[in-house]
Amino acid sequence: MRAAEVDLNDLAQVEAAWQRHIASTLGPGVAVQRFRRCSEGFSWLTLSFDLEPAPPEGAHFILQIGPPTGLFSPYSVRPQVLALGSLEGSDVPVPRSFWYSDGPEVFGAPYFVTQRLPGDVLLPWSIKRAPAAEAGELMRQFVRILARIHAAPWQERPIAEIGDGIDTHDAALRQIEYWSEHIGRWSPRSFPMLSWAERWLREHAPVAPRVSIVHGDYRIGNFLQAEGLVTGILDWEMAHLGDPHEDLGWACLPMFNSGSRELAALIPRSQVYELYEAECGIRVDPASVRFYEAFALYKSVAINLGAVRCFEDGRFHDLRMAAMGTQVAPTLRQLYKTMEAAL
Amino acid sequence: MNNSPDRVFEDILRLLRDDVIPQLEGDALRSQVFGAIFMLKNLQLRVDWGGAPLIDEIRAQDTLFDALRALDPPVDVELPKAPRLAPDTPTGGRLLALRDEGNALVSRFIAEGAGRPAGEPVRVAMDALLSAYMRTELELEIRHTPKPMFAEMSSGKAQGG
């Protein structure tokens, strides 16, 4: 397969490549309109476009491209496409995915296209400014939707393809190994606290209550809301099968909740767990959530080190990546405190 | 700092030259930014990460290594026999290498502990020394880390303060 030569930093080139692909697949009469970049993220390049006349798939779309220079490069569309496909038709608000490929034929990089859902992203620091009752209701929906993701049957669904024999006893260890391997790849420098944390995580890995679809980045900032309703759960690039407590630990991290141990600095943990249990029937073990909070910080440090590597290699010219590298020590200190508190 | 100073300078200069200057209106403001670029280029040729925090970290490692030698645990890791800092220790890259070599040794001690039962007296004693060092190291790093500005970096808007 011939790799397309497209400069992904040049929006006009990306649009032209996409227009050529649309013309070849949907016909020359279908035009790409209102093509624009949506966010300035570090990972997938996210773009919005409309098609006119609208094909049966719809009129409004999101295109995501995994650039060879991105934070988690090399990319694959598989985890997100499989997760979204597994939840399609469920009561979890996820966009439908239409076209995707891990091949280089369109952009020289993996890409996938989903339906564009209505709504705005609520950022961690903007939720503080929303009226408490409205924000509280949104966060309760956020918890209920998480419970539905975890209760969703997956064994006969597409995501089972990446299950690789996972069970309740090795769910945590698989994630520790995955991120430890990335740390080794990204950081030539040894961080004793990371070695300490890896040892602690391995020694305290809990048995999962069940194996579930895990979003992997479930937090404020990764969902859409419109008029008080959560309209879509976004950013499935770290989706995998694992312990449902993993998403709870991540979502409850103080760094995603204005520094608070309460969800969105509004809802106490006990209420989060009650809501969650009532929705899906999975009993929350607070000790497992504490374990996964420590794991989440370990993973955060790994991501920060990935950003450092990406910046140092000159793959990505974004000073915010260098800025992420400055957060390694504060996050390690938080990780140490979290491990101490979990004992 | 986890990035090299040269790489950080390089990208600040690129940002100012390629992205900021073309957006600025008025020669007076552009002149000021060219002045900033010139000064940054001067700094780029002359500066390295400060040596003092690295020296403090290496001293903390040497203190840990002294304590571990006194404990004499049955661990197959060779420790430096004497303090590694001398009055003529060069700064910059050599200090960074000493700090990183020291931390690699600390990590090996941590890995050795993984093979021992959690309550074993040797492991308990080793862990107490190791965790005291790690806390010190992080405090030294954090002392030189300003308050994060991720809200501003994500939104592009000043957050006040």
Between chains, do A196 and B134 touch, taking CB under 8 Å as contact?
A: yes
Question: What are the structure tokens assigned to A333, written together?
Answer: 């200190």
Quick one: pLDDT at residue B24? Answer: 94
**Radius of gyration of chain A from Cα atoms?**
20
* Fold classified for A3-115: Phosphorylase Kinase; domain 1 (3.30.200)
Q: What is the pLDDT confidence band of residue A2, given thresholds at 50, 70 and 90?
A: low
Is B133 part of the contact surface with chain A (CB cutoff 8 Å)? yes
Angle between helices B93-114 and B121-143 (to 10 degrees): 150
On the CB side of B101, CA atoms within 13 Å amount to 13
Give the closest residue to B76 by CA, choosing from B117, B102, B131, B113: B113
Which ipTM score applies to this complex?
0.88
CA distance linking residue B5 with residue A325, whole number of Å? 13
Domain ranges for chain A, please list them: 3-115, 120-342
Would you mind telling me the total number of residues written for chain B in this entry?
161
CA distance linking residue A226 with residue A220, whole number of Å? 14
pLDDT for residue A325 is more than 90: no
Environment class of A291 (CB within 10 Å of its CB; exposed 0-12, middle 13-18, buried 19+): buried
Cβ count near A253 (within 10 Å): 17
Quick one: pLDDT at residue A315? Answer: 78
Quick one: pLDDT at residue A16? Answer: 96
Quick one: pLDDT at residue A74? Answer: 87
* Fold classified for A120-342: Aminoglycoside 3'-phosphotransferase; Chain: A, domain 2 (3.90.1200)
The DSSP call for residue A94 is -
Question: What are the structure tokens assigned to A173, written together?
Answer: 């260890």
pLDDT for residue A241 is more than 60: yes
Quick one: pLDDT at residue B27? Answer: 92
Quick one: pLDDT at residue A90? Answer: 95
CA distance linking residue B79 with residue B101, whole number of Å? 11
* CB < 8 Å to B142, chain A: 329-330, 333
* CB < 8 Å to B141, chain A: 328-329
Question: What are the structure tokens assigned to B85, written together?
Answer: 């800092």
Give me the amino acid identity at A149. I
State the average pLDDT over residues A269-298.
97
Token pair 């370990």: residue: A298
- Scored b (16 or more CB within 10 A) or e, B66-88 reads ebbeeeebebeeebeeeebeeee
Q: Which of A37-41, A239-243, A317-321 shows the lowest mean pLDDT across its residues?
A: A37-41
Q: CA torsion, points A265, A268, A272, A278, in degrees to nearest 10?
A: -150
* CB < 8 Å to B148, chain A: 323, 326-327, 330
Share of chain A above pLDDT 70, in %: 98
Identify the residue with better confidence: B50 or B140.
Answer: B140
Q: What is the pLDDT confidence band of residue B76, given thresholds at 50, 70 and 90?
A: confident
> Could you tell me which residues come within 8 angstroms of residue A258 by beta carbon, excluding any fewer than 6 positions away?
A124, A125, A127, A128, A264, A265
Consecutive H or E run containing A113:
strand A111-115
CB B109 within 8 A of CB B77: yes
Interface of A with B in 292-331 (CB under 8 A): 304-305, 308, 311-312, 314, 317, 319-320, 322-323, 325-330
State the average pLDDT over residues A67-96.
93
State the average pLDDT over residues B130-156.
87
**What pTM did the predictor assign?**
0.93
pLDDT for residue A216 is more than 90: yes
